[in-house]
Structure 1
Amino acid sequence: MRIKSQKDFFAGLLYAVIGIAFAWGATTYSIGDGARMGPGYFPLILGIVLALIGGFVIFRSLTVETPDGDPIGKWSFKPLIFVILANFLFGILLGGIPSIGVPAMGLMIAIFVLTVVAAMAGPEFKWTEVIILGIVLAAGSWVTFVWGLNLQFQLWPSFISG
């Protein structure tokens, strides 16, 4: 069988592999049932759904003809690196690394840094827009998670908030 759309085939393969990994990893937790869900229930269902979507996309890539075969283009390393770096820095700033003495900087600074670094991945970077977006996202996160859902997050570094 011939691949008729490379982009769809590899995207479906990625979905299927991630879905299978999630479902497999969820089996190490107690699953429960629909009425009394265990900690592994949601990752198992999510993994199964992702794998099914991946299978459907792979099937489509093998059956639906595309004009040029939808070849995969060259990799864009700048966005890849900046988006991964942004998420990595978010995790470090939110929780810190106590084993090497890096303190937690809190939700507001972590989201602001995440926004700035992720914005550097794009073709154009405007400081004014990025700062406004960072402020809006930080405020929106505070409203959603701290005020709305009443979750306990460190908002600011301890040397600011005490």
Structure 2
Amino acid sequence: MTLIVDRPRQQWLCALAIVLFGAFVVWEGLHYSLGTGFQLGPGAFPVGTGAILMLLGVGVLLEPTSADDEAVPRLRPVLAVGAGIIAWSYLVDRYGLYPATFALVGLSALGGRDLGPVAASAIALVLCVGGQLIFIQGLGLPLDAFKW
């Protein structure tokens, strides 16, 4: 395990960027009312999110590494998840929540090697049902489960 001062420059810069972005979000959130514990104001969410980002930035810096770790960027997962998000945003208005979520999970699963089609389908189904219960029925968002 390497000491914090022995971290690669890229890791320092990444952690610093996350902490600075979190601080910016907190700063901007403080311009709004935080509200009370029972009735949160519009500034409570950005302040909380920014604080979590700052903690995650510190976590990036404190992450244990060894001398033989090589950070090899993998492009396939990034492209697969990005394609899934783009597909979901395109399909949700045209075909509904269920087909869009199945496309999202299916495309995102192509980015890894561990998730088979049965597991991806099960995850997509759970996300669809959860999304319908929370967003369509619970929050009343104007989404269709299926739209043909």
TM-score, with length taken from structure 1: 0.66
Name the CA distance, whole Å, in 1 between partners of 2:89 and 2:25. Answer: 21
The equivalent of 2:35 in structure 1 is 33
2:109 is equivalent to residue 119 of structure 1: yes
The equivalent of 1:47 in structure 2 is 50
The equivalent of 1:141 in structure 2 is 131
Q: Where does structure 2 lack aligned partners over 5 or more consecutive residues?
A: none
Name the CA distance, whole Å, in 2 between partners of 1:156 and 1:57. Answer: 40
Name the CA distance, whole Å, in 2 between partners of 1:92 and 1:33. Answer: 36
Closer, same or farther: CA 41–2 of 1 in aligned 2, 3 Å: closer
Query: Number of residues paired by the alignment?
Result: 143
2:96 is equivalent to residue 131 of structure 1: no
**For 1:37, what is the secondary structure of its paired residue?**
coil
Name the CA distance, whole Å, in 1 between partners of 2:60 and 2:114. Answer: 32
Q: Percent identity?
A: 20
The equivalent of 2:90 in structure 1 is 92
Closer, same or farther: CA 41–142 of 1 in aligned 2, 3 Å: same
**Alignment check: 8 A CA contact 1:106 1:155 kept:** yes
2:18 is equivalent to residue 15 of structure 1: yes
Considering only aligned residues, what root-mean-square deviation do their CA atoms show, in Å? 3.3
Q: Note the C-alpha offset of 1:82.
A: 0.7
**For 2:106, what is the secondary structure of its paired residue?**
helix
Q: Note the C-alpha offset of 1:48.
A: 2.5
TM-score, with length taken from structure 2: 0.71
**Alignment check: 8 A CA contact 1:27 1:44 kept:** yes
The equivalent of 1:79 in structure 2 is 77
Q: Note the C-alpha offset of 1:23.
A: 2.6
Q: Deviations along 1:53-85, whole A, 9 cap, x unmatched?
A: 424653x47xx8x551x7551100000111122
Name the CA distance, whole Å, in 1 between partners of 2:55 and 2:49. Answer: 10
Q: Note the C-alpha offset of 1:90.
A: 1.6
Q: Note the C-alpha offset of 1:14.
A: 4.8
**Alignment check: 8 A CA contact 2:22 2:49 kept:** yes
**Alignment check: 8 A CA contact 1:106 1:154 kept:** yes
Q: Where does structure 1 lack aligned partners over 5 or more consecutive residues?
A: 97-103
Worse-superposed segment, 105-114 or 43-52? 43-52
Q: Note the C-alpha offset of 1:108.
A: 1.0
**Alignment check: 8 A CA contact 1:18 1:47 kept:** yes
Name the CA distance, whole Å, in 2 between partners of 1:25 and 1:87. Answer: 27
Q: Note the C-alpha offset of 1:138.
A: 1.4
